[in-house]
Amino acid sequence: MYGFGGTVLRINLETGQVRRSPTPESFAREWLGARGFVAKTIYDEVPRDADPLGPENLFIIAPGVLTGSFAPCGSKLGFGCISPLTNGHADSNMGGHLGPEIKYAGYDMIVFERISPKPVYLFVDDDTIELRPAEQYWGMGSLDLEARMKKDLGEDFQIATIGPAGENGVAFACITHDFGRQAGRCGVGAVMGSKRLKAIAVRGTKSLPVHDLPGLTKHTYDIIQRTKPHPNMEPWQKYGTALFVSWANEHGCFPSRNFQTTVHEGWEGISGEKLAEEVLVTHKACFGCWMNCGKYSRARIPGKPDTYLEGPEYETIALCGGSCGMTDIHHVAYANYLCDNLGLDTMSGGNITGFAMECYERGIITKKDLEGHELRWGNIDDFENFLRMIAARRGIGELFSHGTRAAARKLGQGTIAFAEQAKGMEFSGYDTRWYSAQLLSYCTADIGAHHNRSWAITADIELGQDTPVGKAPVVIYLQHIRPLFDTWCCCRLFWGELDVTPEEHVDAVRYLTGWDITIEECMRASEKIWNLTRAHYLERNGGPGRKHDVAPLRQLEEKIPNGPAEGKKVGTENFNYMLDDYYVNRGWDKDGNPTREVLELLGIGYAADNLEKRGLLGKPVPGGIPKVRGQKLKPKAM
């Protein structure tokens, strides 16, 4: 088989047994890798009542078909399991260099089963697979451990680690690699930690089998030369994702102080330009990427040692920065470093800390709860104390370690009204009160509130920010095309920013594998995965689907108090309109349950059977489901 490493590994952490089997080509063709491999395997094998931090959950690592393949930015690696935040499917992917290394060692998926009796790390050196003791590493920070393992094993090894937060089962713990790339969302670090798996170290020295190497080489070489002078190249190379901070503030979607408002006073101090001026050390690229959007930085704060980190990205600036009231890029960079080394998602971590800061502001939590400390907006020391309490699950840190929704439910006192999350996972860095398509995107996303599924901000601008009309079909299209990149497992920024088309990515798959595959087939696979994980979510969490596709009250009914989006809110009626439209366009019933018709059309009729057994199957749609689910955005007439 071309394009793949060739082997699936299954590792029983309880017994230490390692089983190898050839990657079936039919499986590879149907599910394409990464997100697809994970979704199917978890659906088939994890019991519906499995505890996410228990022995029956699987922890899976899988590169995708394009990983390591000389395709544009073929860098990415998928991680998946059942999420401790949402109790649904977790899909988190990571750039850097580990994904290609796993492929070059010959592997397409590594499935970890059960729980190790003692801390271990996985050592892979081509065909050598060992579970090595990691007791000596337990308790170490993620970044600190990677530095140590690079020294111990050699620079040739690619390393991914969890920090103390993952070891302690913090529900939004992440996995860190390459000194600052993360599988950040969904709490995949907690699941890795629940299995007492502290790190993964891989060296792969084999060649990737390619069906048509001259064709693939010319294809990507031409794209390289074509995109070098692209207008977006230079700003991206210089600022990375942080270049979005100014627009978000100027157009009222930047979260300030736990999303209390959407223009942040002092945002200029945490902008992309400030990053480049004050903290930038090196531009840093993922494997095979010539846009090098990664920014490696150094934070300098009087009284603290200098800290080095990759970032801060837009999301960290939004959530650790704006949402926690910060105005100093050094503080945001330091907050980024803390999260990385403790092993916490900067996005959920920033969001939860902002939520806790609002709770403190309102007197719902007090100094007594915080071991005598305060939790003031913009105060980096307060931020650090709080984060460390969460990572250790100490005192009130234990409450917040389960995520914003769980914390709000336990605190009561109306706090759920300002918990910015969906399905238990915290909003990423966009306030949606003037961007209703983005709210719909967050609340219907399979993994909880994450924009990587659908970034619909410009769709809102094109279609009209004050209307709910026409948003749903566009969100559905985005929910198919964007996670397709998480399935091929390459970065979507070449498509999103440099005009490399989805068809060109499919061409790369064709050259690589020899498959006669089309973009239509890939989009259908992506829609299939979407529906499979929806069905899985309902089986685990009960139905109907509509009861889970819920928006935070602040986004629905609390008007933005100032700034460019003053007075805006989405409105419950508008949200329900969009949700109704969404279900119709998805081929689901009005309660948000997938129908047999759409599941069978996508080739997963077994999912319909399983839903039906539990009384969760969607009722047939009168007149049938739409022929095409999802619509690409048509820009406003010019």
Residue list 191-220, contact with other proteins (CB under 8 A):
204-208, 210, 213, 217
- Which residue, 50 or 94, has its beta carbon nearer to other proteins? 94
* 97 makes contact with other proteins (CB under 8 A): yes
Chosen residue from 224, 417, 469, 628 binding other proteins by CB under 8 A: 224
- Which residue, 185 or 569, has its beta carbon nearer to other proteins? 185
- Which residue, 52 or 322, has its beta carbon nearer to other proteins? 322
Q: Residue 493 to residues 26, 292, 293, 310, 566: CA-CA distances in angstroms?
A: 29, 11, 10, 18, 31
* 70 makes contact with other proteins (CB under 8 A): yes
Dihedral pair phi/psi, residue 146, rounded to 5°: -60, -45
Rounded to whole angstroms, how far apart are CA atoms 17 and 428? 39
- Which residue, 21 or 282, has its beta carbon nearer to other proteins? 282
Contact 330, 299 (CB under 8 A): yes
* 147 makes contact with other proteins (CB under 8 A): yes
Chosen residue from 77, 122, 191, 289 binding other proteins by CB under 8 A: 289
- Which residue, 151 or 627, has its beta carbon nearer to other proteins? 151
107-113 and 7-12 as β-strands: parallel, antiparallel, unpaired?
Answer: parallel
Contact 445, 435 (CB under 8 A): no
CB of residue 134 to other proteins, shortest distance in Å: 20
CB of residue 173 to other proteins, shortest distance in Å: 19
* 468 makes contact with other proteins (CB under 8 A): no
* 458 makes contact with other proteins (CB under 8 A): yes
Per CB under 8 A, contacts with other proteins among 158-187 are 178-179
* 264 makes contact with other proteins (CB under 8 A): no
Question: Which residues have C-beta within 8 Å of that of residue 225, sequence separation ≥ 6?
Answer: none
The length of the chain is: 638
Tell me which stretch binds other proteins (CB under 8 A): 26-34, 284-292, 377-385, 544-552. 284-292
DSSP annotation of 203: E
Q: Residue 615 to residues 16, 538, 595, 598, 600: CA-CA distances in angstroms?
A: 39, 10, 12, 17, 17
Pattern of binders to other proteins over 571-610, x per CB under 8 A?
A: ----------------------------------------
Rounded to whole angstroms, how far apart are CA atoms 252 and 265? 12
* 228 makes contact with other proteins (CB under 8 A): yes
* 287 makes contact with other proteins (CB under 8 A): yes
Per CB under 8 A, contacts with other proteins among 474-503 are 492-493, 496-499
CB of residue 541 to other proteins, shortest distance in Å: 28
Per CB under 8 A, contacts with other proteins among 295-354 are 296, 298, 308, 313-315, 318
Contact 64, 485 (CB under 8 A): no
Q: Site for other proteins (CB under 8 A): how many residues?
A: 83
Q: Pick from 145, 182, 153, 188: which is nearest to 170 by CA? A: 188
Pattern of binders to other proteins over 434-453, x per CB under 8 A?
A: -----------------xx-
- Which residue, 75 or 404, has its beta carbon nearer to other proteins? 75
Q: Nearest 5 degrees, angle CA 633-CA 635-CA 638?
A: 165
* 467 makes contact with other proteins (CB under 8 A): no
Chosen residue from 15, 24, 117, 221 binding other proteins by CB under 8 A: 221
| DSSP calls for 10-53 | EEETTT--EEEEEPPHHHHHHH-BTHHHHHHHHHHHS-TT--TT
DSSP annotation of 594: B
Chosen residue from 7, 292, 562, 576 binding other proteins by CB under 8 A: 292
* 524 makes contact with other proteins (CB under 8 A): no
Chosen residue from 230, 300, 409, 590 binding other proteins by CB under 8 A: 230
Query: Tokens at residue 608, please?
Result: 């319909």
Q: Nearest 5 degrees, angle CA 530-CA 56-CA 395?
A: 95
Contact 341, 372 (CB under 8 A): no
| DSSP calls for 473-486 | HHHHHHHHHHHHHH
